Amino acid sequence: MKVEQYKILEKSKINDFINSLISFSKVAAPVYKGFKNYTFQEIKSADEVSLKYIPTIIPPKKYFMPQKETLLKFDVKENLKIEPTVDYENLILFGVHTCDIAGIKCLNMVLSDKPKDTGYLIRKKHITIIGLECNDYCDEYASCSFVGAHIPTTGYDLMFTELGDYFIVHIHSSKGSDIIEKTELFKPAEEFHIKELKALREKKLKIFNNEVPTERRYLPDLFDRSFNASVWKELEQRCLSCGNCTAVCPTCYCFDIKEEVDLSLEAGERYRVWFSCQLDPFAKVAGGIDFRRERSARQRHRFYRKFRYHIDRYGMVFCTGCGRCSRTCMAKINLKEVLTSLIKESETKIWRKWL
């Protein structure tokens, strides 16, 4: 930790800072919507912002990958004309938790891979991320320690950490540095501030415990042994196949592509919308064959997408421990409980080998 990479903002000036951001940019931040629900939305005043919040209903990925996105417009009035389209705007995301930053890092990895997702990458360049570190668990659904997303590492421009009556702010990019200069509200950090930050991180190691009874490095082996586990059949009896779990997931990026022609039948657009591997039509192919017709197969696919497949391709777990899937599931399928059941069933198989 180099002290010159940190600045100090008195807590009493946080609203001045947010209002300053609003004065020169569109800003989206967590806002309370009632009944323990929060959303990221555009704000017009710092008074709207909730600094203490559980993960929002939909993660901030919606600004990078909108739920519906026009890809191109076409016109056949004379000759066929096709115009690729990317909608974007400058935006500052304020108050993003480390779990959601981890989700954006996963999307960055996948959508920068070939074939690159041009629309996503253009929007990413125009979005500034200001993180807000969690000093304690948001609620009982979180498993951010298990996946290593409870401590800020990379993926942000500025990171705010609350320490008593001030915030210590890590500057992680030139965009972040520009904001510090433009708002003129920050003081240089001193060595004792860095010591207090280190003390907080030490304290967090005791607060945030491994929420699942295994270690992350054992996940590939666990899932290699669990493809035919009875857990998937048990989930089939409970899953409603509503797709809520994937709609709220910060790392799900599947979509469908559709085309619509206007009433003149001479022009129209091609667009994509979020889709879900938990919905029945997702795995249907030509001929009407559905290679994941059973809900057990779809649930298994969801867990393997989070904890196995992407480890091979990208070396990353694609779960951020935010807990949204468990929090929103109408059938009360809890991600931590499913992993624990898999571990117990897997241990039984190992012991049987030695009997």
Whether 333 has a pLDDT exceeding 70, the answer reads yes
pLDDT of residue 180: 97
Mean pLDDT of the chain: 95
Q: Mean per-residue pLDDT for 313-334?
A: 97
Q: Residue 327 has which token pair?
A: 């929090």
Whether 136 has a pLDDT exceeding 60, the answer reads yes
Amino acid identity, position 55: P
Radius of gyration of the chain (CA): 22
Q: Residue 58 has which token pair?
A: 């939909």
Q: Report whether the peptide linkage leading into residue 115 is cis, meaning its omega lies within 30 degrees of zero.
A: yes
Whether 101 has a pLDDT exceeding 90, the answer reads yes
Burial class of 94 by CB neighbour count within 10 A (0 to 12, 13 to 18, 19+):
buried
3-state secondary structure of 115: coil
pLDDT of residue 1: 77
Whether 181 has a pLDDT exceeding 70, the answer reads yes
Whether 90 has a pLDDT exceeding 80, the answer reads yes
pLDDT of residue 348: 72
- At CA 314, angle to CA 28 and CA 202, rounded to 5? 65
Q: Residue 348 has which token pair?
A: 């039984």
Contact assessment for residue 74 and residue 81, using Cβ atoms and an 8 Å cutoff:
yes
The pLDDT > 90 percentage for the chain reads 94
3-state secondary structure of 202: helix
Whether 59 has a pLDDT exceeding 80, the answer reads yes
Which residues share a beta bridge with 8?
168, 187
What is the reported pTM? 0.94
CA dihedral angle for residue 137, residue 140, residue 143, residue 145, rounded to 10 degrees:
30
Q: Mean per-residue pLDDT for 36-60?
A: 97
Contact assessment for residue 151 and residue 131, using Cβ atoms and an 8 Å cutoff:
no
Whether 229 has a pLDDT exceeding 70, the answer reads yes
pLDDT of residue 352: 54
Each residue's pLDDT tens digit, 240-289 = 999 999 999 999 999 999 999 999 999 999 999 999 999 988 999 989 89
Q: Residue 290 has which token pair?
A: 């559905």
Each residue's pLDDT tens digit, 232-252 = 999 999 999 999 999 999 999
Contact assessment for residue 136 and residue 120, using Cβ atoms and an 8 Å cutoff:
no
